[in-house]
Structure 1
Amino acid sequence: MKFLYIVFFVLLASISAQAQNIKVLNKITKEPIFGVAIYNIDKSKSVITNFRGEVELDVFSDTEIIYFKHLSHVLKKLTKLQLDGSNKVYLVSNTQGLEEIVISASKFEQSKKDIPQKIISMNAKSIQFINPQTSADLLENTGQVYVQKSQLGGGSPMIRGFSTNRLLITVDGVRMNNAIFRGGNLQNVIAVDPFSIQNTEVTLGSGSVIYGSDAIGGVMSFYTQKPKLSNSDSLLFNSNALLRYASASDEKTGHFDFNLGYKKWAFVTNASYTSFGDLKMGNHGPAEYLRPEFALGTNNGDVVIQNSDPLVQRFSAYNQFNVMQKAHYKPDEDLSFDLGLYYTTTSDVPRYDRLIRYNNDVLRSAEWNYGPQQWFMSNLQVTKLSSRSNLYDKIKATMAYQNFQESRIHRDFQSSIRNIREEAVDAYSFNLDLEKTFSTKTQFFYGIEYVYNKVMSQGEEEDISNGITNPSVSRYPNGATWQSAAVYSSIKYKPNPKFVFQSGLRFNHVVSKANFEENNAFLNLPFKSSKNEAGALTGTAGIRWSPSKTIQWKLNASSAFRAPNIDDIGKVFDSEPGSVVVPNETLRPEYAYGGELSLTLNFDNSFILDMSTYYTYLDNALVRRDYNLNGETEIMYDGELSTVQAIQNASKAWIYGFEVGLKMVITNQLHLNSQYNIIGGTETAGDIEVPIRHVAPSFGNTHLVWMSKNVKLDAFANYNGSLSFNQLAPSEIEKDYIYALDENGNPYSPSWYTLNFRAQYQINKSTTITTSIENITDQRYKTYSSGIAAAGRNFILALKYSL
């Protein structure tokens, strides 16, 4: 790591600010604006800003009116005398330009309409109106991300048939995925505080060229609040406080944030605390979802208690605390330093789907908790937005350290042995991203990345009758490491406003090492250690073509990969009742090859129809299959004879889908928005093809929104298709306890819908009230593959005060 620090600071030392006659900048972002046409009233004199926003005004006299014109900014006029010695001119972005800016496609701001891939985004204003309880709920509200929940303290996104470690999560440009991100359902996204988010971008489809391993199905990019500088010599102070209550989960949330801004320094502090009670499901729906009884530990042993209200999902309650501190230093217009510190912790989180399992008509578990889930990140970012270097115009260097801690605590009904497994990951990363503009038509983006993860893991058995503990098999090989090094580049060619071509390549080299000596005392593996190395070359190419103002076509082809991580290579866990997953050192990366075609029809922004179709082929897919250990197909694990399984490159998969979105301006105040998604796919299991586990049912939403000066109303419906018994993946059929039963007694996922209403009223400049009634008809339903039923009729009230 010392080498990276040296490189980092040598780069900083080489950065210097340059200025010419004047520089034209965006008033909000302070970024230079390339291609601003500057001319006098009869256009007899004209000049254009270069890629640093610089231009000479020598051709103009001091008193003649000069016009500054740029497509995505408001026209500005002034005289040289009005500059009053200043060498900077600020232009205001027009509304259309602001809506089109995205960051996740190249790590630098780009026009959204130029990106061949589909990216959906949400800003702080829309997030405040949605008022999500977690970041998983925020993603679900996009209408294009499906969310599974095994417990109330969960939320595992699914995008275009992919989930968990085949999707990538980033926070302020830093990848959150680590070496133990699993193929099962993940709840890490809820560690991101929705109150801290300034904007969110979701890339639908592969993002491997920019983000590397895991970005097969999509990238979820969260950008948190930025500290705001003062434009004067006085301190800029603003603050927000919020209280929220939700009836279905008895949620109580408190949040505050404040900003201190000086001319060159700014700080923002953000903190939230949420307490969730046991979630209550709806009245109308499958009886299989009810909670008729629950296990309870007493001084006289475990007993089964009849639930006084079967709609209340005992035990699902938990609480969560989030805090963030950021500092921003901007010594000049082009150079900035950003430091971010983030911390999230939870209470024990009951894993509800394990608490409702039965064994011979008796509840299987007396307790099953995820221990406190903790995440810490420190992130230092240095950005230079203008340079005269031949190598780059913009440069961004990011160094980050993350620590993840999690544990699993479970005990069988009427057993005195409590199994405890604890994991921690230290994750270091370094990114250097650069942008170079060669001409008005061509931009080049490139960078390097290094990631290092170290895994700590231990297991023990505690006898609750006497408090004695003994070591047991750990979930992962203790001390295992995972490293990734990569170089990547992409180019954007825009010969005219109607056509854009983008293409990119990335080469990744991944090395993982694990020592199994500690676990061999329990498993007797045929190897003591393993080293897995893999190289991967991925690419993308796409075009955006707008033959007219009404029609826009997008075509994109890409390849992506996921390298085996420590969870794949070295995990030991009970995947399902009577099965245990053991390590496999022979794994190779899985590859995805896909294409996407999109058509947007825009009729004067009053009627917009957006359609996309996509296809992905997954080769060498990493899947869980039956295995043998030293010739044995069954071993004892946690006191139970279990079938041996392992992650293997044993499958191929085909995933396809169609998405359609509609936006209609009925009147200036009344808008209609709708989204619908159809997904299908199969994978090989031996000689047959079976449904894929993470292909969600057809789903969508429709919103009718009315807006006035101080009021915003939203009447909306969420709806979801069914999956019959024959459409369920084999691994889902084995979890029949989370599903409803059809007329033949087989598990299936029923269709459902909810009717909802949301309102926001700005009482005055400082005070805003947001209220919602969700699931008005009190439906009892589960999102596909979820262990916990969704909230029944839910009243939500939030009061925000801004200073």
Structure 2
Amino acid sequence: MASAQSIRGRILDADTKAPLPSVTVVLLHTTLGTVSNQEGYFEIYTKTPGNYKIRITRVGYEPLDLNTTTDQTLMEVALKPTFLQLNKAVVITAQRYETNQFNRPEAISVITQKELDQRAPRSTPEALMGTTGVWMQKTNHGGGSPFIRGLTGQQTLLLIDGIRLNNATFRSGPNQYLNTIDPQNISQIEILRGSGSVQYGSDAMGGVAQILTKNPVFTDSLSVNGSVYGKYMSAGMEKSGRAEVSVSNTKVAFLGGLAYRSFGDLVAGGDLGVQKPTGYDQISGDLKAKIRLSERYLFTAAWQKLEQKQVPVFHKVQLENFAYNYFDPQRRQLTYARLEAFHNNPWFRKVTLTGSLQQTLEGRKSQKNDSPILVSELDKVNTWGAVMAIDSEPTSYWKAHSGIEYYYDQVNSTREDINLKTDTRMAKRGLYPNGSTASNLALFSLHTLELDKFVLSAGGRFNAFDITVKEKELGASTIRPSALVGSFSALYKLHPHHHLVSSVNTSFRAPNIDDLGTLGIVDFRYEVPNTSLKPEKALNMELGWKARTKRFSSQVAFFRSNLSNIIGRVRSGNDSIQGYQVYLKENVAEAYLKGLEADAEWQLAPTLAAYGNLVYTYGQNITAQEPLRRIPPLHGKLGLSYRARQGIWIQPQYMFAAKQSRLAQGDIDDNRIANTGTPAWSLLNLNAGYSYRWFSVSMELHNIRNKAYRTHGSGVDGYGRSFWLATQIRF
């Protein structure tokens, strides 16, 4: 017989009445939780009898919150299967704590665990292809930089489990760092579009892309589980494998994974053929453990490491007379510890302390065809982070999230030129001033009022920076910029199934070490440093509509961003160094971005749905009276999704992009973009698979018509006609 101090129940499928295993059940405002067994039963023990709210979630079903008590008899809960995914996710990024996507004013795109399993993306950047509000640029096959509302690089913030991936050396253009996250270690990807500086600080001018990694779950008794994953792509373009193991009981939950991936040279569409060199190898591992110290205290420790070897920069070999040019190694390691304390005090409902150390190592090796000199560069960045956050719930309709955070970057940068003929070595200045540092201290507070017809959110943040660059020739210099930003957003419940949303917020990007201390060849130019830079600023405005009915979901957003103090590269007279034109970064520009984002899902039948999106972005540099650089073209997708009860799914998909001929002078100078712009393209893909209790298989036919295409601004072309096959066995 169950204890009086327990909450127990059985979870069923609302349509079939079949028991649902592996359903996550948590008691909100405590550390307690479990998963349902094969018969759908769960039981959570507590030392404190009384009233609780439980949250019940399972992929493919609508999340459910229920009020219950410890003296209640066995409850029976029916979860509604959801064919549609849009507007039905529980998200974290909008307010730094869990909220319902549909009931938030912000524009949010979500990629769920189910989508990731079915699509089996080769890399984390490729997982974002086709996501509403995101344009993926690939400088090289081992990279991938998301454009959110026309901005990327330093002006878009990347997070892992709430911790900044951006560091003080992030450059202004596209970068490859999102590809240092193993796609098979991801539970959900959230894209917060058009806001983020109030919540997360510098760089979030276009928005925030947050990667949430897999979590181990507690179980009622000792449980050992695992999985083995394998994937093969035609022409040897991918051979991947990953193994996972989890061990858990009521007090401890552990999850670990190890993966190896070998990527062959990319085979492009049409008559473009093999793009050599583009292939590389990658190995990664990750560990995460949760320890339930008591009903009120939860401790989490996590470690991730990924390393890539000899990642070629294809366009430099193809267009810039390099014998070879590659990243070696490209390495990222993240270690963090988090303590969560849950209390009954409404002002301190939850207190979270997080400490982190992220280490990135980027090596670059290159040699020109007509030169005996091997250039070997190495940049190492250590980023220490500390965050204290407090969740408050002063009333039933008022929630707040406040905190203080601190990040400290230390940069070591070296270069060595090796004469292969004479076997002599010469040490030179690295890409960044060696020993440079950057600190980032912030206070923030976010508030939400949930009234009868309105959800109102407002917040503010103050950020202070201390950035020191140490130039041997120019001497050390320090700047101490600061920023104060705010936000206000509103959701009006026009109807239970239709919400109107609007927001206005300010955002910023503080100059970093890349801005202040870059010296050398970057992309297709030679940069020299400037230590007189100020923060970039933006004013973002948005108006939109969200709909969610039983058979239809949609989001539409109109946005405009006014940018000022934008740091841009300016030609330094007619100077040239090593054959490259010389550029200097300055606060030179005012600009604006505006556009439309729309996506929808419509359930046509019990097992069939249609979906699609459309994104248009227009950017203009007011100062230079020309388009902003690398603005994505009009693009979108259309598709059908068939999912049978037997675990079969079939998804034909059509993706397209219009021609982009609105080019800035920097685009015209970019050897990756034709002078007339990037041609329009379209793709036809077919994804299908089957999933059973312990086994799943998925496959895709990509670019069935074998069309040649390149996403605007990229340095490599897209995949030609190809297929991949992936399997996973669970035990």
TM-score exceeds 0.5 = yes
Task: Give the Cα separation in 2 of the matches to 1:494 and 1:74.
Answer: 17
Equivalent residue, structure 1, for 2:508:
561
Of residues 380, 405, 419, the one that matches 1:449 is 405
Contact residue 329 and residue 364 of structure 2 kept, 8 A: no
Of residues 364, 368, 372, the one that matches 1:412 is 368
Q: Offset at 1:570?
A: 0.3
The question of 1:181 aligning with 2:118 is answered no
Which structure: larger Rg?
1
Please list, as runs of the form range in 1=range in 2, the aligned pairs for 1:90-101 lying within 5 A after superposition.
99-101=88-90
- 1:250 to 1:23, Cα distance in 2 relative to 1, 3 A: closer
SS of equivalent to 2:479: strand
The question of 1:536 aligning with 2:500 is answered no
- 1:73 to 1:472, Cα distance in 2 relative to 1, 3 A: closer
Counterpart code for 1:334: R
SS of equivalent to 1:136: helix
Equivalent residue, structure 1, for 2:136:
147
Q: Which moved more, 1:325-334 or 1:477-486?
A: 325-334
Q: Which moved more, 1:274-283 or 1:243-252?
A: 243-252
Task: Give the Cα separation in 2 of the matches to 1:211 and 1:147.
Answer: 22
Equivalent residue, structure 2, for 1:770:
698
Of residues 618, 621, 624, the one that matches 1:680 is 618
Structure 1's unaligned 5+ residue stretches are 1-19, 35-51, 58-65, 84-88, 285-289, 291-310, 359-363, 521-526, 741-745
Counterpart code for 1:771: M
The question of 1:750 aligning with 2:679 is answered yes
Q: Offset at 1:319?
A: 0.9
Equivalent residue, structure 1, for 2:207:
218
The question of 1:690 aligning with 2:600 is answered no
Structure 2's unaligned 5+ residue stretches are 12-22, 31-45, 57-61
Task: Give the Cα separation in 2 of the matches to 1:177 and 1:422.
Answer: 18
The question of 1:28 aligning with 2:24 is answered yes
Of residues 450, 467, 481, the one that matches 2:423 is 467
Contact residue 149 and residue 156 of structure 1 kept, 8 A: yes
Report % sequence identity. 26
Q: Which moved more, 1:467-476 or 1:177-186?
A: 467-476
Task: Give the Cα separation in 1 of the matches to 2:598 and 2:656.
Answer: 15
Contact residue 581 and residue 644 of structure 1 kept, 8 A: yes
Post-superposition Cα deviations, 1:442-470, rounded to whole Å, max 9, x if no partner, equal 11110100000000001121101132110
Equivalent residue, structure 2, for 1:371:
328
Of residues 621, 627, 638, the one that matches 1:702 is 638
Counterpart code for 1:218: G
SS of equivalent to 1:179: coil
Q: Offset at 1:137?
A: 0.7
Of residues 537, 543, 546, the one that matches 1:600 is 546
- 1:257 to 1:328, Cα distance in 2 relative to 1, 3 A: same
Of residues 225, 228, 232, the one that matches 1:241 is 228
Post-superposition Cα deviations, 1:249-287, rounded to whole Å, max 9, x if no partner, equal 521101111101122011111111111111111126xxx
Equivalent residue, structure 2, for 1:581:
527
Of residues 226, 237, 240, the one that matches 1:253 is 240
Q: Offset at 1:694?
A: 3.1
Task: Give the Cα separation in 2 of the matches to 1:414 and 1:81.
Answer: 80
Post-superposition Cα deviations, 1:524-582, rounded to whole Å, max 9, x if no partner, equal xxx312101111001110001112124210101000000000000001122355x4211
Q: Offset at 1:79?
A: 9.3
Q: Offset at 1:722?
A: 0.4
Contact residue 23 and residue 54 of structure 1 kept, 8 A: no
Q: Offset at 1:107?
A: 2.2
- 1:549 to 1:53, Cα distance in 2 relative to 1, 3 A: farther
Q: Offset at 1:24?
A: 11
Task: Give the Cα separation in 2 of the matches to 1:587 and 1:547.
Answer: 46
SS of equivalent to 2:28: coil
Task: Give the Cα separation in 1 of the matches to 2:267 and 2:129.
Answer: 20
Post-superposition Cα deviations, 1:737-788, rounded to whole Å, max 9, x if no partner, equal x345xxxxx43200000001010112x4222110100000001110001111
Contact residue 656 and residue 683 of structure 2 kept, 8 A: yes
Q: Offset at 1:394?
A: 0.9
Contact residue 178 and residue 453 of structure 1 kept, 8 A: yes
Equivalent residue, structure 2, for 1:300:
none
Of residues 653, 669, 682, the one that matches 1:734 is 669
Q: Offset at 1:75?
A: 6.6
Equivalent residue, structure 1, for 2:382:
426
Equivalent residue, structure 2, for 1:634:
575
Which structure: greater strand fraction?
2
Please list, as runs of the form range in 1=range in 2, the aligned pairs for 1:381-392 lying within 5 A after superposition.
381-384=338-341, 386-389=342-345, 391-392=347-348
Task: Give the Cα separation in 2 of the matches to 1:649 and 1:124.
Answer: 41
Equivalent residue, structure 1, for 2:462:
507
Contact residue 33 and residue 53 of structure 1 kept, 8 A: no
The question of 1:380 aligning with 2:337 is answered yes
Post-superposition Cα deviations, 1:575-595, rounded to whole Å, max 9, x if no partner, equal 355x42111000000001010
Contact residue 687 and residue 701 of structure 2 kept, 8 A: yes
- 1:336 to 1:797, Cα distance in 2 relative to 1, 3 A: same
Counterpart code for 2:308: T
Contact residue 363 and residue 376 of structure 2 kept, 8 A: yes
Equivalent residue, structure 1, for 2:297:
335
Post-superposition Cα deviations, 1:365-414, rounded to whole Å, max 9, x if no partner, equal 11111121000110101112x31346411111110001100022111112
Task: Give the Cα separation in 1 of the matches to 2:296 and 2:67.
Answer: 22
- 1:353 to 1:231, Cα distance in 2 relative to 1, 3 A: same
Contact residue 136 and residue 157 of structure 1 kept, 8 A: yes
- 1:100 to 1:244, Cα distance in 2 relative to 1, 3 A: closer
Contact residue 675 and residue 700 of structure 1 kept, 8 A: yes
Equivalent residue, structure 2, for 1:11:
none
In the TM superposition, structure 1's runs of 4+ consecutive aligned residues that sit over 4 Å from their partners are 20-27, 52-57, 66-72, 74-79, 89-98
Of residues 198, 204, 207, the one that matches 2:196 is 207
Q: Offset at 1:611?
A: 1.3
Task: Give the Cα separation in 2 of the matches to 1:53 and 1:721.
Answer: 61
- 1:78 to 1:409, Cα distance in 2 relative to 1, 3 A: closer
Equivalent residue, structure 2, for 1:166:
155
Equivalent residue, structure 2, for 1:788:
716
The question of 1:126 aligning with 2:88 is answered no
Task: Give the Cα separation in 2 of the matches to 1:262 and 1:55.
Answer: 22
TM-score, structure 2 normalization? 0.90
Task: Give the Cα separation in 1 of the matches to 2:77 and 2:291.
Answer: 23
- 1:381 to 1:69, Cα distance in 2 relative to 1, 3 A: closer
Task: Give the Cα separation in 2 of the matches to 1:576 and 1:800.
Answer: 40
Contact residue 74 and residue 93 of structure 1 kept, 8 A: no
Of residues 439, 442, 458, the one that matches 1:483 is 439
Task: Give the Cα separation in 2 of the matches to 1:458 and 1:69.
Answer: 51
Task: Give the Cα separation in 1 of the matches to 2:193 and 2:581.
Answer: 37
- 1:712 to 1:586, Cα distance in 2 relative to 1, 3 A: same
SS of equivalent to 1:162: coil
- 1:338 to 1:623, Cα distance in 2 relative to 1, 3 A: same
- 1:407 to 1:78, Cα distance in 2 relative to 1, 3 A: closer
Contact residue 144 and residue 700 of structure 1 kept, 8 A: no
Task: Give the Cα separation in 1 of the matches to 2:481 and 2:570.
Answer: 22
Post-superposition Cα deviations, 1:122-160, rounded to whole Å, max 9, x if no partner, equal 221221001110000111142431111121111111111
- 1:108 to 1:93, Cα distance in 2 relative to 1, 3 A: farther
- 1:462 to 1:335, Cα distance in 2 relative to 1, 3 A: same
Post-superposition Cα deviations, 1:34-71, rounded to whole Å, max 9, x if no partner, equal 9xxxxxxxxxxxxxxxxx999858xxxxxxxx999999
The question of 1:551 aligning with 2:493 is answered no
Counterpart code for 2:207: G
Contact residue 376 and residue 404 of structure 1 kept, 8 A: yes
Task: Give the Cα separation in 1 of the matches to 2:53 and 2:586.
Answer: 64
Contact residue 229 and residue 728 of structure 2 kept, 8 A: yes
Counterpart code for 2:377: R
Contact residue 24 and residue 53 of structure 1 kept, 8 A: no
The question of 1:355 aligning with 2:346 is answered no
- 1:562 to 1:81, Cα distance in 2 relative to 1, 3 A: closer
Q: Offset at 1:314?
A: 1.2
Task: Give the Cα separation in 2 of the matches to 1:144 and 1:54.
Answer: 46
